[in-house]
């Protein structure tokens, strides 16, 4: 628990560093370009498809007619853009994870290692290809879990629990692996994952819930159309900064845990050897030299 809290406060302090803030802007530029391109080419078809889905579903048509009698009209046209945005939010989150993993995590881990663990040996347990494969495979598993859990979102409490849990699991898998890929060997990484799995998963889940909070800013950008171009980039940047904080927390925790594990596994230093005294070469005391010995004439 002490290691968990210590690494948390260190991550908070590092987030205030200008270098970390600058690093958080780089994925924002990439994600902004991707989002702008997807919005330009896919927004109209996605909006039309959602509108058609809302208008063409029989039981929803009954609901719209009942609401129209109550004075609520043209609700599908209002809900369609909101539902499209809510459906694409998880995709943006996953893209943020990958962008942070590829662009930010190596630089952040190197920053933490040089400032706090300069003497920690780097065993290069995984390279760039291995890290990328681990991130992609973990993302695919998280997407599958997210799709399979969609029917459970109809239960009100689960819609607030399941997505952050899945994002937390993904964050734990990606961030912990990347934090250890440069310094730990493969066996050390497996040992640390087994020994600290609970704490690492707790960090991931906490960051998963923390990453869900900026969704309020995202939805606000849809509701307040005038501030759309300000709030949506702000929401993406907050997502990115949250993942930067996550990578810092994992870096501080994992590298400190690795240092402790190596210190525990190292053999104790041998006691320093004292000077060797040759008893035979020691001069005889005067009392033993023979006071009655006759002096030579």
In tens, the pLDDT along 228-240 reads: 556 666 777 777 7
In tens, the pLDDT along 5-51 reads: 999 999 999 999 998 888 888 767 776 777 777 777 877 888 888 87
- Look at residue 105 and tell me if it is in a domain: yes
More confident residue, 84 or 294: 84
- Look at residue 187 and tell me if it is in a domain: yes
Banded model confidence at residue 129, pLDDT cuts 50, 70, 90: confident
- Look at residue 53 and tell me if it is in a domain: no
Host domain of residue 164: 10-28+87-264
Q: How far apart are CA 182 and CA 248, in angstroms?
A: 15
pTM score of the predicted model: 0.66
- Look at residue 172 and tell me if it is in a domain: yes
Burial readout 50-85 (b: 16 or more C-beta within 10 A, e: otherwise): bbeebeeeeeeeeebeeeeeeeeeeebeebbbebbb
**Tally of structural domains, the chain:** 1
More confident residue, 52 or 141: 141
Banded model confidence at residue 207, pLDDT cuts 50, 70, 90: confident
- Look at residue 47 and tell me if it is in a domain: no
Q: What does the mean pLDDT of the chain come to?
A: 77
User: Residue 190 above 70 pLDDT?
Assistant: yes
User: Residue 282 above 70 pLDDT?
Assistant: no
14: burial class by Cβ within 10 Å (0-12, 13-18, 19+)?
buried
Residues 6 or more apart from 92 whose CB is under 8 A from it? Answer: 31, 35, 236, 239
More confident residue, 213 or 241: 241
More confident residue, 58 or 84: 84
- Look at residue 284 and tell me if it is in a domain: no
Residues 6 or more apart from 293 whose CB is under 8 A from it? Answer: none
- Look at residue 130 and tell me if it is in a domain: yes
Residues 6 or more apart from 238 whose CB is under 8 A from it? Answer: 214, 217
Q: How far apart are CA 221 and CA 25, in angstroms?
A: 20
User: Residue 140 above 50 pLDDT?
Assistant: yes
Segment 161-173 shows an average pLDDT of 82
- Look at residue 166 and tell me if it is in a domain: yes
Q: For the ranges 108-112, 215-219, 221-225, 227-231, which has the lowest average pLDDT?
A: 221-225
């Amino acid at each position: 628990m002490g290691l968990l809290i210590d690494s948390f406060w260190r991550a908070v302090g590092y987030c205030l560093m200008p270098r970390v803030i600058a690093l958080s802007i780089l994925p924002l530029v990439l994600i902004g370009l991707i989002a702008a391109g997807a919005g330009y080419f896919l927004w109209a078809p996605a909006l039309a498809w959602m509108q058609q889905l809302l208008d063409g579903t029989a039981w929803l048509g009954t609901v719209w007619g009942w609401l129209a009698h109550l004075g609520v009209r043209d609700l599908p046209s209002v809900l369609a853009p909101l539902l499209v945005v809510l459906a694409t939010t998880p995709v943006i989150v996953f893209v943020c994870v990958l962008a942070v993993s590829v662009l930010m995590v190596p630089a952040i881990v190197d920053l933490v290692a040089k400032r706090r663990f300069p003497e920690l040996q780097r065993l290069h347990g995984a390279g760039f290809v291995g890290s990328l494969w681990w991130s992609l495979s973990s993302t695919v598993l998280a997407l599958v879990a997210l799709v399979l859990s969609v029917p459970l979102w109809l239960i009100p409490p689960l819609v607030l629990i399941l997505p952050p849990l899945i994002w937390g699991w993904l964050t734990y898998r990606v961030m912990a692996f990347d934090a250890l890929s440069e310094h730990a060997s493969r066996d050390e990484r497996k040992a640390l994952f087994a020994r600290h799995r609970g704490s690492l998963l707790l960090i991931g889940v906490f960051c998963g819930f923390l990453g869900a909070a900026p969704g309020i800013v995202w939805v606000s950008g849809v509701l307040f159309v005038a501030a759309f171009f300000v709030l949506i980039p702000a929401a993406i940047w907050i997502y990115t900064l949250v993942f930067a904080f996550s990578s810092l927390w994992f870096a501080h925790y994992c590298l400190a845990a690795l240092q402790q594990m190596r210190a525990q596994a190292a053999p104790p230093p041998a006691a320093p050897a004292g000077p060797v005294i040759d008893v035979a070469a020691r001069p005889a005391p005067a009392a033993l030299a023979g006071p009655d010995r006759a002096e030579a004439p």
